[in-house]
Every structure is written in structure tokens, then in C-alpha cells.
Amino acid sequence: MHSIPSNKRHPNLTMARRTSEDLRMQLASLACCTMEVSVPTAHLGLPSDLFPITLYCDEELVCRQPGESEALEVVVSTVRSGPGSFQTEGTGGLAIAMLTPLGMLSLLRAPMHGLADRRVPLEHFCGRSEQRKLRSAVMSAKTNQERIEVFGRWLEAHILDSRPLTSYETRIAGAAMTLLHTPDMRIDLDEIARANAITRRQLERDFRKWLGVSPASYVRLVRFQRAARALAAGKPIVEYTWGKIWN
């Protein structure tokens, strides 16, 4: 894992410059930042087509969603189909890995049915001991760059060194990655189903089981994220707002 120093626009943010070539399809981004929130502050999270894993590096930094009884230490955020509300307070660092559907399936090996729009402790998937080991290693790092290095090595080991995906897991990961990367979003779900030798109904069942949403819902999330990036870059978003979704 390679990192770059914080830039002038975001002095508290450190991004990974690049990940291992073997991880480029599984890991969309890896970053570490420092936050200072003197009073409890409410904020919104945008709908997302990726799967964030957030590791809170300091005990003083706390972020909760409504309904969470305790602060979570390492959090897997499932597909977010709508804005999510949060409350953050304290000072400290956090590391965030944004996983693609392929990365999520390769790392967690667990279905997401019924978990959409939720934050789930990492220990739910890998056990409390492994979560504590990871967080302790990241918290022991002295700089944000070092934290990225430690977190990146853990992700690389657990994604690449685990057993290969089954044919079933490979099928749904491939279909989801096709939706994520189709350039013009002219999606034909029947064609994707045929390419994977299944019916459209089976494709829809697979998506709900493994990603927590339907294929059509996932397409809308991809379109939303592309429109948000275009808007942030000062580009027109009409093609994302009004363009037809082939489903």
C-alpha cells in the first residue's frame, strides 16, 4: 500500500495513492482522516453503491446512527438506498475503506439480505477477536499514513489469501460489477441474466440475498453516485437525472 501526504484543500485527509494491483477491482478507495467535533453534530450520509468499512482509531471519536445503543468500533455499512442520519462528537482519526461488490463478497463471504441501510459491526462477520486485533494494530500506528498501511495490509491479506469465491458468489459479484462499471448505464438486466446462465428472477433473488437490494435499485444507486460526482466536478448531470434506465 502506498500513501500520499495530506493536501492543502483537505489538510486532515490522507488517501492511498494506489493499492496492490490485485486489489484494484475490490477496493475503490482507502483513506484516513482526523476529525474534531467539539459539540455533538448531526449530518447526513448520501446513498451509496459501495460498501464502506469504517474504523474509528480513537476512543474519543464517536459516531452513532439513531437506534444504536453503543458506539461501534469497526463498522461495515451496507448498501445505503437513501440518506442516512448520523451524530458525531469528539476528536480523533478514522480509516475508511470503500469496497466494491466484489471486494465485499471476497472479504465478508456473507449475504446482506435484510441488512440494507444498516451499520453492522465487523465482528459480525469475522469474530470479535479478529476485529480487536485489527483495531489495535491500526490504533497503534502513529500517523495517518501508517494507519492506511496497516489497514491496507489487513484488507489485502483477508481478501486475497482467503479461499476462492464459489461459482455462485462469482456469478453475483460479476453481475454487480457489470452494473457498477457499465459506462452509459444502458442496462439490460435480462441480458445480464442470460450472460450468467440464469433467469432474471434468479438474478433478482441473488441480488436481494447477497447485496440487500434489487438489481434495479442498485442501478439507481450507481446513477445517483455518478450524478453526485459530476455535480461536484462542475459537470452537467442531466444525463444521470433524466436518462432512461433499461431494466
* Residue pLDDT, tens place only, 100-132: 999 999 999 999 998 988 899 999 999 999 999
**What DSSP element (H or E) covers 228?**
helix 215-232
**What DSSP element (H or E) covers 3?**
strand 2-3
pLDDT of res. 18:
54
Tell me the C-alpha distance between 40 and 20, whole Å.
Answer: 37
**What DSSP element (H or E) covers 31?**
strand 27-45
The model carries a pTM of 0.85
- pLDDT score of 97 more than 90: yes
Q: pLDDT of 159-217, one tens digit each?
A: 987 788 888 889 999 999 998 988 666 778 898 889 888 899 999 999 999 999 999 89
Q: 172: how many CB neighbours lie within 10 A of its CB?
A: 23
- pLDDT score of 93 more than 50: yes
Mean pLDDT of 81-98: 88
* Alpha helices (H) along 34-166: 101-108, 123-126, 128-140, 144-160
What's the DSSP call for residue 235? -
pLDDT of res. 16:
67
